[in-house]
Amino acid sequence: MAARVEACTPCHGNKGEGTSDVYFPRLAGKPAGYLYNQLLAFKNDRRKYPPMNYLLEYLTDPYLQEMADYFASQHPPLPPAAPSDVSQEVLKAGEALVTHGDAARQIPACASCHGPALTGMEPAVPGLLGLRPNYVSAQLGAWRYGTRTARTPDCMQIVAGHLTEADVTAVAAFLATRPAPDNPAPVPKGSYILPFACGSQPN
Amino acid sequence: MRPQWRVAAVLVPGLVLGFAIPSAQAQRDDVVKRGEYLARAGDCIACHTAPEGHIFAGGRAMPTPFGTLYSSNITPDRETGIGKWTADDFYATMHKGRFPDGGLIYPAMPFASYTKVTRDDSDAIFAYLKSIPPVNQKNREHDLRFPYNNRQLILGWRTLFFTEGEYKPDPGKSAEWNRGAYLVEGLGHCGMCHSPINALGGQSQSDAFKGGLIPMQNWYAPSLTSNREGGLGEWSLKDITDLLKTGVSARGVVYGPMAEVVHNSLQYLSDEDTRAMAVYLKGIAEASSRPASSALPRTESSLLISLGKTVYDAKCASCHGAQGEGKPPHWPPLANNQSIEMESAVNPIRMVLNGGYPPGTEGNPRPYGMPPFAGMLSDNEVAAVVSYIRTAWGNRGAPVSAREANELRSAPLN
């Protein structure tokens, strides 16, 4: 399978660990259902990034599933947490949103869906560790502006719609400072109940 | 089976009534099945189905140099589709390029090819389209710039470029050759890309299948008549049918817009039809000895080629081989590969920049992909490696400049 996905490696790394380009995400170890949903979304032009749309357009769904399974089963180490260039206050604001959310503004904690250790949940909730702040900011921005969408109810679009630009910066910066947990694997399906309905992962 | 039924009907008239209903139904089913097959041969789905949309409900955006066209709903919905059409209406539309009310159709719909389709085949496709679920979805207005938004202009285009008429078999050729010609020139509408397009968006008969840059997509559709380009005169029938049916072959692999054609259309054709197309395609290809020419000064060329060898050995040789021999069918040979050597360097440059997967097909469901090198190689390095593969190992192509490589970085990907 490694030879079949060689086309992915210049941007995502040999085992999906990511590369020096901060906008290309780590794929390794993310839940296979999440990766499969993204591959399908790129194939069907729902998620727009022309180099990805182009590569996947004429591949079959079962083959995309195999690719998703392959990268989900790779476990290169998470990168060491990077020192952040934002202020302590911003990091604190990020930590508050990630761990507690902001009920007054209808923002759930990231951890309430992405898991207490932020490692995601099988089959389709992605972990948030090992991603660079630029990537997380760009994705949250895309959700906010509606250029990234998922199946309805589109939970991430609803949540991101409540975030300000400052929130996005704070969350992205805080996530990138998190050290790797002892067990970086996504928790099993049903480990906790999602706080609200999500088209990509029905409760 | 059918001739035997006829015998039974003649000999035992009493049985005819008993069998009439199921056999008429079975015949209708056969027609629908044949229509589905022919609709695939015509690749109707590529334009008439939008991404994540209902099959044949239209609405797919098709960018053209004149603005954006939106394909129409061809499901049997009475209000928004073709539910009120008759088989006569459908045939006239395919054959004449006019809607049943006489309205002119933009020639993005390949009616200049579909006019060659027989009445019998048209009726079968219509029967199939009538059998699919109707979808109520209004057609979206085209978004064309002035003056192209005036449909009367199509009359001028038609006068210049449209000849109405079903395919006329060439009695001097075999039935197989004629079947191939019918598919390639008619439903296959191969000329839409493989014949050069002029500034008026038209194609002339005398230039049929001579190759050209596909507008908006910036891929080069090679000539099918010149063995210096995509002509298949020196290919074995097996290599041609492998390529058409599975997307990969011992001589080369399909990519770019041709991957779509194999994925949605050609992989579904019967072995007989694929072979017929191969026989025809092999037959129309001719040797042509256009000499390779480069606009680059000799010193620049030799610098590029020597840098190119370094890039090739580091990035390409592990799959395509130190001598460009490849590991067919998944890693195509680059030595003696027409699509590398041909005059237009657009495709080799784009493959280096964008990489790509051949289509997933029944014959090759898990294709190997080429990595995109746009982010790893500079314009100079791209030009160098393409210059190298176009001139090494006896290849007779011409070197390319860094500027050509740079210009294709912004080529559209979908």
Residue type at B302?
A: S
Q: What gap in Å lies between CA B101 and CA B79, rounded to an integer?
A: 15
CA atoms within 13 A on the CB side of B13: 0
CA atoms within 13 A on the CB side of B312: 26
**pLDDT single digits (tens) B243-292:** 999 999 999 999 999 999 999 999 999 999 999 999 999 999 887 765 56
User: Which residues in chain A have their CB less than 8 angstroms from residue B358's CB?
Assistant: 58
H or E element, residue B95: helix B87-96
Q: What gap in Å lies between CA A190 and CA B311, rounded to an integer?
A: 50
Average pLDDT score over residue span B124-129: 98
Q: What gap in Å lies between CA A79 and CA B4, rounded to an integer?
A: 73
Average pLDDT score over residue span B378-388: 97
Q: What gap in Å lies between CA B179 and CA B275, rounded to an integer?
A: 10
Give the mutation candidate from A55, A66, A152 for the B interface (greatest B CB count, under 10 A). Answer: A55
Instruction: Look over chain B and give the mean of its residue pLDDT values, rounded to a whole number.
Output: 90
Contact B367, A3 (CB under 8 A): no
What is the distance, to the nearest Å, from the Cα of residue B57 to the centroid of all Cα atoms in its chain? Answer: 21
Position of tokens 């072995």? Answer: B271
Q: What gap in Å lies between CA A42 and CA B226, rounded to an integer?
A: 37
Distance from the B357 Cα atom to the nearest Cα atom in chain A, whole angstroms: 6
Average pLDDT score over residue span B325-349: 95
User: Which residues in chain B have their CB less than 8 angstroms from residue A58's CB?
Assistant: 259-260, 262-263, 357-360
Mark A172-184 as b/e (b = at least 16 C-beta within 10 Å).
Answer: bbbbbebeeeeeb
Report the pLDDT value the prediction gives residue A196, as an integer from 0 to 100: 85
**pLDDT single digits (tens) A21-39:** 888 999 999 999 999 999 9
User: Which residues in chain B have their CB less than 8 angstroms from residue A4's CB?
Assistant: 366-369
φ and ψ at A52, to 5 degrees?
-75, -45
Distances (CA, A) of A98 to A23, A105, A126, A199: 21, 14, 14, 21
Pair of tokens at residue B38: 């022919």
Contact A50, A56 (CB under 8 A): no
Domains of chain A: 6-72 (1.10.760.10), 88-177 (1.10.760.10)
Pair of tokens at residue A44: 């069907």
Q: What gap in Å lies between CA A156 and CA A200, rounded to an integer?
A: 10
Helix residue spans in B285-411 (DSSP H): 298-315, 317-320, 338-341, 346-354, 379-391, 402-407
Inter-chain CB proximity B373 and A45 less than 8 Å: no
At A62, is the pLDDT very low, low, confident or very high (cuts 50, 70, 90)? very high
Contact B406, B379 (CB under 8 A): yes
Query: Has residue B3 got a pLDDT over 50?
Result: no
What is the pTM assigned to this prediction? 0.90
User: Which residues in chain A have their CB less than 8 angstroms from residue B45's CB?
Assistant: none
Pair of tokens at residue A17: 């660990």
Other CB atoms within 10 A of residue B360 CB: 23
Report the pLDDT value the prediction gives residue B81, as an integer from 0 to 100: 97
Residues in chain A whose Cβ is within 8 Å of chain B:
3-11, 21, 44-46, 50-51, 53-60, 62-63, 66
Report the pLDDT value the prediction gives residue B355, as an integer from 0 to 100: 96
Question: Between B260, B369, B414, which is nearest A6 by CB?
Answer: B369
DSSP codes of every residue in B265-294: TGGGS-HHHHHHHHHHHHHH-B---PPP--
Inter-chain CB proximity A10 and B356 less than 8 Å: no
Pair of tokens at residue B373: 């090198």
Distance from the B397 Cα atom to the nearest Cα atom in chain A, whole angstroms: 26
Query: Has residue B13 got a pLDDT over 50?
Result: no
Average pLDDT score over residue span B11-19: 48
Average pLDDT score over residue span A44-73: 96
At B1, is the pLDDT very low, low, confident or very high (cuts 50, 70, 90)? very low
Query: Among the listed ranges B33-37, B165-169, B314-318, B409-413, which one has the minimum average pLDDT value?
Result: B409-413
Distance from the B129 Cα atom to the nearest Cα atom in chain A, whole angstroms: 24
Query: Has residue B147 got a pLDDT over 70?
Result: yes
Report the pLDDT value the prediction gives residue B286, as an integer from 0 to 100: 84
Q: What gap in Å lies between CA B405 and CA B381, rounded to an integer?
A: 9
Query: Among the listed ranges A167-176, B19-28, B370-379, B385-394, which one has the minimum average pLDDT value?
Result: B19-28
Report the pLDDT value the prediction gives residue B100, as an integer from 0 to 100: 94
DSSP three-state, residue B52: coil
Between positions 1 and 60 of B, the ones with CB within 8 A of A are 51-52
Backbone CA torsion sign across B202, B207, B209, B211: negative
Beta bridge partner(s), residue B70 = B61
Inter-chain CB proximity A7 and B371 less than 8 Å: yes
CA-wise closest residue to B370 among B251, B265, B212, B248: B248
Distance from the A91 Cα atom to the nearest Cα atom in chain B, whole angstroms: 32
Torsion of CA B409, B412, B413, B414, to 10 degrees: 170
Domains of chain B: 44-145 (no CATH), 175-284 (no CATH), 301-410 (1.10.760.10)
Q: What gap in Å lies between CA A149 and CA A158, rounded to an integer?
A: 10
Question: Between A9, A21, A63, which is nearest B365 by CB?
Answer: A63
User: Which residues in chain A have their CB less than 8 angstroms from residue B267's CB?
Assistant: none
Q: What gap in Å lies between CA B21 and CA B18, rounded to an integer?
A: 7
* A90 against B148, higher pLDDT: A90
Report the pLDDT value the prediction gives residue B359, as an integer from 0 to 100: 98
Distances (CA, A) of B201 to A130, B65, B103, B114: 50, 8, 19, 17
Q: What gap in Å lies between CA B219 and CA B257, rounded to an integer?
A: 8
DSSP codes of every residue in chain A: -TTTTGGGHHHH-TTS---S-TTSPP-TTS-HHHHHHHHHHHHTTSS--HHHHHHHTT--HHHHHHHHHHHHT--PPPPPPPPPSS-HHHHHHHHHHHHT-BGGGTB--HHHHH-TTS--BTTTBPP-TT--HHHHHHHHHHHHHTSS--SSS-HHHHHHHT--HHHHHHHHHHHHHPPPPS--SPBPTTSS--SS--TTS--
Contacts of A125 (CB under 8 A, 6+ apart): A31, A34, A113, A114, A115, A186, A194, A198, A200, A201
